[in-house]
Amino acid sequence: MSKKSLAETKRCYHVQGGTTLKGRIQTEGAKNAVLPLLAASLLTDEPLELSNVPQVEDVHTMVSMLTELGKKVSISEDVYRIEENGDLQPNAPYELVRRMRASFNVLGPLIARLGQAQVPLPGGCVLGPRPVDFHVKGLQALGADIKLQEGVFHATSTQLKGAELYLDFPSVGATHQLLTTAALIPEKTVIYNPAQEPEVYELIYLLKKMGAQISTAPDRIEIIGQQKLSGTNYRVIPDRINAGTYLIAGAISGGEIVVECIPGHLEALLVKLREMGFTVEERDTEVRLATSVKAKGIHLETRTYPGFACDIHPQMMALMALAEGDSLIRETVLADRFGQVPELVRMGADIKAQENTAFIKGVDQLQGTEVYATDIRSGAALILAGLAAKGETRMVDSGHVPRGYVDLAGKLSKVGASIEVEMI
């Protein structure tokens, strides 16, 4: 990989509004599931093979991280085979950690395998304060000695031990971190108040296939790790956030769309789409959405899973901007999830954001103009808004959207959208 990641290359998405989407979209593998699975490959010296891996920039960043740490990654289409390539290294390079928050999750596996690690503070989308306190506190309870020096966490441990851990907030990242670490401790660890997202259960299923003993309950996860974990193979689930984006694209365009996904992972979104007046049919491995009347305004509040996902609210805001009547979004998970608001207002939306709440009055028409993405999901939201706007929307993105979507423009174009991507 070059020093300048493809994700850091600017793109302009030229979206011609007024087209109606109709057709079928296959959802790619879940980025937020595969990243901790890739990190878990550090726990074993045997090969780990993952299939249905999405070709997104965050995955490329994690692969580069594993390579720097001493792994060899062979790629054949959507199948990634991770093997040991000499001795593991304990130093995670800042150049990679700064790009993506999930790369911080190599810390625990490195401590568990090597007894030491040096990992910088993480970067990623600017979405308000997201401290790693829960990660550090949990790892210290498991026996790691961790100090922060000049922006780098220096961790050592002579012998990790099982412990009872309680997360003050059900952090997905911290749950991943502590699960992978505990899986290589041959004692019992209990994580109370863990995250319940499907991506957490994906990691649990993988670790069990690798040899860890794990049981779950609504309020806790119990892990009995092993001194050595084995390699295995695993297929990654479809991305529920991206599936939701495709469904909302169909809704905002007034079309009819079938999205291949796991419907059970989208229940909160599907309920809200029905509440807005859309026809939503769930089948075994897909969801069909059809429009017949103008969408109605609704209220929603983001919550941790199984609540409404904060990563899908920017896309819903674009839809609400054109709904009949008033809508409201209250964000309770991330401190700064309203980066798309001023850009939607530039397109003619009537939105006022106060602290963690956005008040939306539906308008009859959005107007295409030049707008800018501030993160992955705001970029997707602005592309969706462009589908319904009058004229051309030029959405300038400094590399956010490719971090989370596999050819979003191409997927939407195949079902009727008019989108061209220009490298700038």
In this prediction, residues 183-191 reach a mean pLDDT of 98
- Confidence (pLDDT) at 2: 42
Radius of gyration in angstroms for the set of CA atoms belonging to the chain, rounded to a whole number: 21
- Give how far the C-alpha of residue 321 lies from the chain's centroid of Cα atoms, to the nearest Å: 24
- 159-171 exposure pattern, b = at least 16 Cβ within 10 A, e = fewer: ebebbebebeebb
- Confidence (pLDDT) at 1: 39
CA distances (Å), origin 217, targets 137, 192, 211: 22, 9, 20
Q: Give the tokens for residue 345.
A: 């207002």
pLDDT tens digits for 311-320?
Answer: 999 999 999 9
- 349-364 exposure pattern, b = at least 16 Cβ within 10 A, e = fewer: bebebeebebebebee
- Confidence (pLDDT) at 334: 81
Rounded Cα gap, residues 226 and 213, in angstroms: 8
Rounded Cα gap, residues 385 and 153, in angstroms: 41
Pairing mode of beta strands 326-330, 286-290: unpaired
Whether the per-residue pLDDT at 124 is higher than 90: the answer is no
Query: Could you give the residue ranges of the DSSP H alpha helices within 322-416?
Result: 341-346, 376-388, 401-404, 408-414
pLDDT tens digits for 6-25?
Answer: 556 899 999 999 999 999 99
Rounded Cα gap, residues 20 and 354, in angstroms: 33
Pick among 3.60.110.10, 3.90.1150.10, 3.65.10.10, 3.40.50.10540: CATH of 6-28+238-423: 3.65.10.10
381 — pLDDT class (breaks 50, 70, 90) = very high
- Confidence (pLDDT) at 101: 80
- Confidence (pLDDT) at 99: 84
- Confidence (pLDDT) at 335: 72
pLDDT tens digits for 83-100?
Answer: 999 899 999 999 999 888
pLDDT tens digits for 128-149?
Answer: 444 789 999 999 999 999 999 9
Where is average pLDDT lowest: 7-11, 25-29, 64-68, 194-198? 7-11
Asked if residues 203 and 226 have their Cβ atoms less than 8 Å apart, the reply is no
In this prediction, residues 349-356 reach a mean pLDDT of 95
Asked if residues 143 and 164 have their Cβ atoms less than 8 Å apart, the reply is no
In this prediction, residues 209-229 reach a mean pLDDT of 97
* Helix/strand/coil for 10: coil
Catalytic residue list: 125
- Confidence (pLDDT) at 3: 45
5/409: higher pLDDT: 409
- Is there a common fold for 6-28+238-423 and 31-235? yes
- Confidence (pLDDT) at 319: 98
In this prediction, residues 107-133 reach a mean pLDDT of 80
Query: Could you give the residue ranges of the DSSP H alpha helices within 321-398?
Result: 341-346, 376-388
Rounded Cα gap, residues 155 and 165, in angstroms: 19
Rounded Cα gap, residues 374 and 363, in angstroms: 23
- Residues of the chain with pLDDT > 70, as a percent, come to 96
The average confidence (pLDDT) of the chain is: 95
How many secondary structure helices (H) and strands (E) does the chain include? 14, 23
DSSP character for 102? Answer: G
pLDDT tens digits for 233-275?
Answer: 999 999 999 999 999 999 999 999 999 999 999 999 999 999 9
pLDDT tens digits for 144-171?
Answer: 999 999 989 999 999 999 999 999 999 9
Identify the CATH number of the domain defined by range 31-235.
Answer: 3.65.10.10
CA distances (Å), origin 172, targets 130, 179, 375: 11, 11, 19
- Confidence (pLDDT) at 337: 79
Whether the per-residue pLDDT at 4 is higher than 90: the answer is no
CA distances (Å), origin 411, targets 39, 211, 256: 28, 38, 15
In this prediction, residues 366-377 reach a mean pLDDT of 97
The amino acid that residue 323 corresponds to is A
* Residue 303 phi, psi (nearest 5): -145, 165
Domain boundaries, the chain: 6-28+238-423, 31-235
In this prediction, residues 374-380 reach a mean pLDDT of 95
- Confidence (pLDDT) at 174: 96
Rounded Cα gap, residues 32 and 70, in angstroms: 23
